[in-house]
Structure 1
Amino acid sequence: MPITSLSQLDKNGSYTYSEYLQWQFEEFVELIKGKIFEIPTPYTQHQQVVGNLYGIIGFYLRRKKYLIFGRPFDVRLPTYDANGELMPDTKTVVQPDICVICDPTKIDERGCNGVPDMVIEVLSPSTAKKDLNEKFNLYEEVGVSEYWIVFPEAKTVSIYLLEGHKYALLGHFGHLQQPGPLQVRTLPELEVELEDVFENVV
């Protein structure tokens, strides 16, 4: 029997990407190590910031080999068993607000099969805990080199860079903290001004 509603799934169950592909409901969800996380409808501030950042980075990447994608866009990340062996059917599929991928061979008709080089998550009240905890730990574990966490209400950006196997905080950037500009380490020639990130954000 096809799964046509999120309510048909056990929220405490564990699922794989193969099962995820069979679901036919309208809600957007992510899988993190088999656990379901529903993606709520984003707030206006969230969408404004995502649009600003996508426009800035996307404009810079014109006619370059690197790729940028925004949600909805499936990113399949590797899952390892208890022995550290790579599982053939991943249990982790996320939809970052923005991701930059430097290796175009990771892209297929279903999204990105592999680890992005840079991920940006813009916090909403309903997703903040996940972005600051589950996703932070996940991106660190799988090796996302650069992770930006954007706080629309505070108008600040926290940037983490992977050093070895752990994230190191580059800085908390905001008009009342470090004023920027924001250096994109994945794209060394690109600097982003804070006022452009939060332009017209109410």
Structure 2
Amino acid sequence: MPTLIAESKTYQRFAPERVIGQMSVDEWVAFLERSRQKSNYICGEVVEVAGASPEHNQIAMNFGRALGNVLEATEANCDVLGSDQKVSVTSGLYYFPDLCVVCGEWKVDLYDALQNPCVIVEVLSPSTEADDRTDKFREYQQITTLRHYILIDQSRVAVTHFEKLAVGLWAIVGDFRSQDDVLKIILGEATVTVPLSQVYR
């Protein structure tokens, strides 16, 4: 009998229905202004941001509120920004993370994209988890000011905290699976803590 060789699957980063098409950055910014749906700009390709579930939105709001409260209490000169804030990774790469934190003076480009986040948070969805953990994370690492990358699972208690170490390498400094755990984030001279019970309340 002939040997059957399985066809190799070509890697496809985004579902075809999410890819809007090719544009310049200027065209994309104009498109955003008249679009009801956010989209990311990835090296000339415009990709629709996946829709979020109520659980996704609640967890992002819970985390943003808890982190904002503790930053205010510690008088850290930092701000928490929500999912409508686009972030500039490079001149041709823009994302809308679920949350980001900027400390000190904000730096934005001509398109109002934040250039100096120190924390980026992504709430994981089934359709985006693989990308958040791989390609997007590698791209985020190009942001020189970024020190913390936090992934939050929306369907179970699971939070992974990556931190950029002094030698420039990224390491997992926290991998939490219990609401009794506490996330610690070092921002300059301040160390802020967020109990997971507040994130998943």
How far apart in 2 are the matches of 1:106 and 1:67?
13
Q: How many residues align?
A: 178
How far apart in 2 are the matches of 1:166 and 1:19?
36
How far apart in 2 are the matches of 1:47 and 1:7?
20
Is residue 38 of structure 2 the alignment partner of residue 28 of structure 1? yes
3-state SS in 2 of match to 1:141: coil
Q: Are the structure 2 counterparts of residues 109 and 196 from structure 1 closer, same or farther at C-alpha, using a change threshold of 3 Å?
A: farther
Conserved 8 A contact 1:32-1:93: yes
- The equivalent of 1:189 in structure 2 is 191
Q: Percent identity?
A: 22
How far apart in 2 are the matches of 1:60 and 1:109?
31
Unpaired segments ≥5 residues, structure 1? 1-5, 79-89
Give matches, 1:90-169, under 5 Å: 90-107=91-108, 110-143=111-144, 144-163=146-165, 164-169=167-172
- The equivalent of 2:26 in structure 1 is 18
Q: CA deviation at 1:191?
A: 1.0
How far apart in 2 are the matches of 1:135 and 1:193?
26
- Cα displacement string for residues 100-142 of structure 1 (whole angstroms, at most 9, x for unaligned residues): 0013231478544313100110011122122112221111232
How far apart in 2 are the matches of 1:45 and 1:16?
34
How far apart in 2 are the matches of 1:72 and 1:66?
18
Q: Which amino acid aligns with 2:195?
A: E
Q: CA deviation at 1:172?
A: 1.0
TM-score normalised by L of structure 2: 0.77
Conserved 8 A contact 1:140-1:166: no
- Higher-Rg structure is 2
Q: Which amino acid aligns with 2:61?
A: G
3-state SS in 1 of match to 2:80: strand
TM-score normalised by L of structure 1: 0.77
Q: CA deviation at 1:55?
A: 0.6
- The equivalent of 1:68 in structure 2 is 80
3-state SS in 1 of match to 2:186: coil
- The equivalent of 1:84 in structure 2 is none
Q: CA deviation at 1:17?
A: 2.5
Q: CA deviation at 1:8?
A: 10
Q: Which amino acid aligns with 2:170?
A: Y
> What is the root-mean-square deviation in Å for CA atoms of aligned residues?
2.5
3-state SS in 1 of match to 2:84: coil
Q: Which amino acid aligns with 1:57?
A: L
- The equivalent of 2:57 in structure 1 is 47
Q: Are the structure 2 counterparts of residues 104 and 112 from structure 1 closer, same or farther at C-alpha, using a change threshold of 3 Å?
A: farther
How far apart in 2 are the matches of 1:103 and 1:109?
19
Q: Which amino acid aligns with 1:44?
A: P
Q: Are the structure 2 counterparts of residues 153 and 9 from structure 1 closer, same or farther at C-alpha, using a change threshold of 3 Å?
A: closer
